Every structure is written in structure tokens, then in C-alpha cells.
Amino acid sequence: MYSPCILLIDDHAMFRTGLSLVIKTALPGANIVQAGSFDEVMLSTLDTVDMVLLDIKLNGLSGLECIALLKRKWPATPVLMLSSHDEPETVRLALARGADGFVSKADTAEKIIEAIYLVLHGQFSELSPADAGLAPKSLTPRQCEVLNLLHQGLSNKLIARQLSLSDNTVRRHVQDILEFFQVASRAEAAFAARRQGLVG
């Protein structure tokens, strides 16, 4: 029997309990680990996770802010965003931050289980709504770090020193960031990122 370990991060205990029961019914062998915040995740002793179900609105760090940190802790683990807000802009923002898929809390239990099944089997592309397909790719966690420092006005050399990267690597990340936002300069990239809510 397939026994995936699924980490469910949501600050509503009732929703966590209900969704856990639904998943257990559909995937009897699944190990569901619940957390109410990212701080709880950091205190856990989990070594491996097959997928993360992450609510966008959390106490403390938001779900969007957690994506890069989760990807750093478990680089190969897919993240499926959960939200009652499923506007195209919210979906696009989650995917741009590195989420592998997005499912609305308003969806039926069957649809949520289907999304979980697709993520567990690596079929992320089928999860992105057509109207969210505006972002053909997402920024990697490392590119998000470079973007944050670029937004703070740091030069490539200072970014390289702060992240312990080579100048060439940072230059390549910056070029990818410019391409992602389809702009020609660092200032334009910082402006676009701020406008889209990718940086504070």
C-alpha cells in the first residue's frame, strides 16, 4: 500500500481535522502530519515529506512567504497551495513564488483529493488553472533570495558575498529574473516585483 507522508499546514484546526479525514479515506495508508504555523513545522523532526499542503493565510509568516523556506528544507518536495481566495492574481502569485499547484478550499472533496493525487504523481501542469497560466515558469527559491537583495539595492558583488555565490552565478540569476518579469533593468525588475507583491 502506498504510504505518502503529507504535511498539512493550516491555522484552522477544524479544517485540518476535516481534510485529514478526507485524505485518510481516499489514501488509507497516508501519514498526515498537521501543523498550525510555519513555526510548528520548524520544531518538527520530520526528515522526509512527500508533499506539503499549505494554506496561504497563516499566523506569523504567510503561506506565500513559507514556500521558499519549505523548498529549502525539502528541495524535492512539491507544495500544493490551499486557499479560500482563488482569484487569478492570487493563483499566479502562489505559482510565481514556487508553488507546484493551487487548489481552492471551496472545491469539492473529490477535486481536492484529485489535486493531491496529481501532485503526488508529479503531474503539476494539470493543476494550474488556464487563467493562471500567465506565468510560464516560477522563480526558484534562490532567485527569490537574489530578488529580495536586488530590491534592497545591493550590487551583484554584494549579493554574491551575502549568499556565498560566485559573481557569475548571481549575474545569471539576475538575467533570469529580468527575463521572468520581461524587463530590461534591475530597477524595473524591483518595481515589477513590488507591484506584484513578490517583495515587501
Q: How does pLDDT run across 150-194, given as a tens digit for each residue? A: 999 999 999 999 999 998 899 989 988 988 888 888 998 898 888
Chain segment 23-64, per-residue pLDDT in tens: 999 988 899 999 999 889 888 888 889 999 999 888 888 888
Which CATH superfamily, name and number, covers 5-132? Response regulator (3.40.50.2300)
Cα separation of 16 and 181, whole Å? 36
Cβ atoms 48, 4 nearer than 8 A: no
pLDDT of 198: 83
The arithmetic mean of pLDDT across residues 124-134, rounded, is 46
pLDDT of 21: 94
Sequence-ordered list of residues with C-beta below 8 angstroms from that of 38, at least 6 positions apart, any chain:
9, 58, 60, 61, 66, 69
pLDDT of 114: 87
Torsion of Cα atoms, 80 then 139 then 45 then 7, to 10°: 0
Position 131 pLDDT exceeds 80? no
pLDDT of 134: 37
What is the CATH architecture of 141-195? Orthogonal Bundle (1.10)
Position 126 pLDDT exceeds 60? no
Cα separation of 52 and 75, whole Å? 12
Q: If you ran DSSP here, which 8-state letter would residue 198 be given?
A: S
**For the chain, what are the domain ranges?**
5-132, 141-195
Cα separation of 163 and 148, whole Å? 12
Cβ atoms 4, 120 nearer than 8 A: yes
Q: How confident is residue 124, by pLDDT bands cut at 50, 70 and 90?
A: low
177: how many CB neighbours lie within 10 A of its CB?
A: 22
Q: How confident is residue 82, by pLDDT bands cut at 50, 70 and 90?
A: confident
Cα separation of 51 and 22, whole Å? 16
C-alpha to C-alpha distances, 134 to 11, 55, 190, nearest whole angstrom: 29, 22, 19
What predicted TM-score, i.e. pTM, was given to this entire model?
A: 0.62
Torsion of Cα atoms, 185 then 191 then 196 then 200, to 10°: 120
Cα separation of 190 and 79, whole Å? 26
Q: If you ran DSSP here, which 8-state letter would residue 34 be given?
A: E
